[in-house]
Structures are given as structure tokens and as C-alpha cells.
Amino acid sequence: MWTANLQTLEGHSDWVSSVAFSPDSQLLATGSDDKTIKLWDPRTGELCQTLEGHSSWVRSVAFSPDSQLLATGSDDKTVKLWDPRTGELRQTLEGHSHWLWIGTDIDGLSLLEEQWIVYR
């Protein structure tokens, strides 16, 4: 059974396609068709920062199990790895031939390409 709406977060200028809570519950990440990632304080709803760098829609966002890394996958066929506390772009992974989805498992981050190829 669903509970009542607790909060509405507004800030993206286009559709939100992905949402992820950090495992430590300190941040909420949203990825959007406006090509940005927004990091929110889930307790207050305050926008903490906006991450820019993708050249197309952001399809997936996922935190590492220790909450120290945020991975974002985009239709620009890149994965970007960010420090969610500072907003610093740590690395861009290129060379993928299809769009990407990102998820987490017990061992950490996994990248899933359109053809269902899993990268670790």
C-alpha cells in the first residue's frame, strides 16, 4: 500500500528517467532527459548540486555500495563516475556501442549495455 506524497522535488527541465538513493541515505540522485544529474538531500528536499557533462539523456544513476561514487549512464554512450560529495567528475568511460544501464549488486557497480553485456 502506498503512503501519501511526502515531498515533490522540482528542478529538472525535462523528464526524469532514473532515481537512486545513496546506501547511506544521505543523497538522492535523479537523472534526466535534460542531460543533467541532480543531487538532493532526501530529508529536506533541498537541491545540493547539479552535475553536468553528458551530451544526451541521462538514463541511469547508481551509487557504489559505500556511497563514495556515483555512476551515470547516458544515451551519449558514456558512463561518468562522479564524487557525489564534491560533484567532481572522476572518470568518463567511452567506447560503448549502445546506451547503458547501471545497477549495483553485492560486489559493487555493474554496467549493463543494451545487448545485455555486463561489465564489472
* Residue 26 neighbours by CB distance under 10 Å: 16
The whole-number average pLDDT for the span 91-95 is 84
> Are the CB atoms for 98 and 112 separated by under 8 Å?
no
pLDDT at 35 over 90: yes
pLDDT of res. 109: 58
The residue with cell 532514473 is: 18
Amino acid at site 104: T
Is the whole model's pTM more than 0.95, yes or no? no
Report domain 16-119's class. mainly beta
Please spell the DSSP secondary structure of 15-48, one letter per residue.
-EEEEEE-TTSS-EEEEETTSEEEEE-TTT--EE
User: Tell me: the pLDDT tens digits for 38-51?
Assistant: 999 999 999 999 99
pLDDT of res. 45: 93
pLDDT at 105 over 80: no
